[in-house]
Every structure is written in structure tokens, then in C-alpha cells.
Structure 1
Amino acid sequence: MLIRDIKNCDYFKALDNTILCELLHPKKENEDLNINYSIAHAILKAGESSLPHRLKTSIEIYYILEGKGIMHIDDESEEVQPGQVIYIPANSKQYIENTAPNELKFLAMVYPMWQEEDEELV
């Protein structure tokens, strides 16, 4: 049985300026999970935004947990809030802004799993 707890996760600043903890990444586990996606917990501080970037071959799903913001995908922008799921197609220019006075927290799910060489700043 594999159970991850956010309280024990190591956070780092990602290429796109979000603070991330990889909750589940099959290439970084000691056991074979037989999955091809990854899940990270992401945080943006008040007034910050991620840097415009794209995942060249992977799709990404954001699930907003706390806070509010504006999601930008290519030429579209929409306000987002807790309980919403955002689909980000592969090779789309994307970034998210935190418009709330508190942290914006969300889950980022990537399929196929996130790989450094697949992400680029734009």
C-alpha cells in the first residue's frame, strides 16, 4: 500500500515559479505503480503567478483546492476557484495568476507523467 501525506512532502520552486511537491510520480517510486501519470501539489503565494510555459506532449489537469485566480491558456483567460477542474491541452501556452490575498493551492495532474524535457518556458 502506498499512501502519501502532503505534510511530509518536500517542496521546491519549479521552472514555472510555482512551489511544488510531487505527491506521486511513477519514475520516482521504489515500487512499480503501473501508471503513466503524475500528481503534484502546487502553491502560489498571494499576488504571484506562474511563468508562461507549455508541456510539449503532455496534457495537464489542475484541480483548485484553495484561493482564487485567473487561468490563462493560449488566448483565453477565466477566473478559477475551489472545486473547479481545468483541462490544459498539450503544447498550450499556460499560466495561472493568484488574485486572492491568500495562497492559491491546486493539484496538477500530468499525463503522460511530467518529465523535465517536456516542459519549456515561453
Structure 2
Amino acid sequence: MSTGVTSQQLAGFAPLLYCAGCRRRMREVTGGPQRVFGCAPGCRRQPVDAGWLEEQVVRALAGKVSLVRAAEAVAAITVARHGPPGVGVRWRNDRWIGRQPDMPARPTTVFVPVRRSRA
């Protein structure tokens, strides 16, 4: 089952994948018959199917941010360890939006052109 996620999109969100159980980064496990993501040894009994995980990430980020630019807007994507499997998204909020300062009626500094001396 293909989710239609390109390698460029995967590179956009793969570094953000963390296990909710051990809090370590999940990595794509290569060399097996199918693509899977795994975390620290002893944390999970079975690795997470890559197709399923990519589909969940696509659903979680749909309409909010593109997969390629996920690292700019998302701090972490966590994968549940027990119970109903699911994906959680922790968004970045590094832009503080505050009130603009009041402007006086006139600027306080006036710039006067420099006169050149006639020599």
C-alpha cells in the first residue's frame, strides 16, 4: 500500500518522528521485506509500518502545512506506544505576536541636509 509520500516529503517530517513511550527519535529501518520505523531496542515489540505512519502524518498535517516544510512549523510528531495507535503533533510557537508600539504624531528626529562648504 503506497501513501504517495515522496522521498523529499519524507525528509521533511522524518526527523520530527519521536516515540511517545521512550521519547527517542524514530528511524526508518532498512534491510527488511517492508518499510518500517523503529525506536530504541526494548521499547516496542514491533516496529511501526511506514505506510501507515506516513498516512497518519499526512492526515495530521493536511491543510495546515506541507510535508516538505513540516520542520518549520512542527516541533515534534509523536507516535503512541500503547492502546489505539495514533500520531500527535506538537506545533512550534516561536513567533510572539504582540501589540505594535504607538507612533507619535511627528517624528522626534529631523534630518537636515548637510551643506557643502564652498571652497
Same-fold call, TM cutoff 0.5: no
TM-score by length of 1: 0.23
TM-score by length of 2: 0.23
Bigger proportion of residues as helix = 2
Considering only CA atoms, is the larger Rg found in Structure 1 or Structure 2? Answer: 2
Higher relative contact order (CA 8 A, sep 6+): 1
Bigger proportion of residues as strand = 1
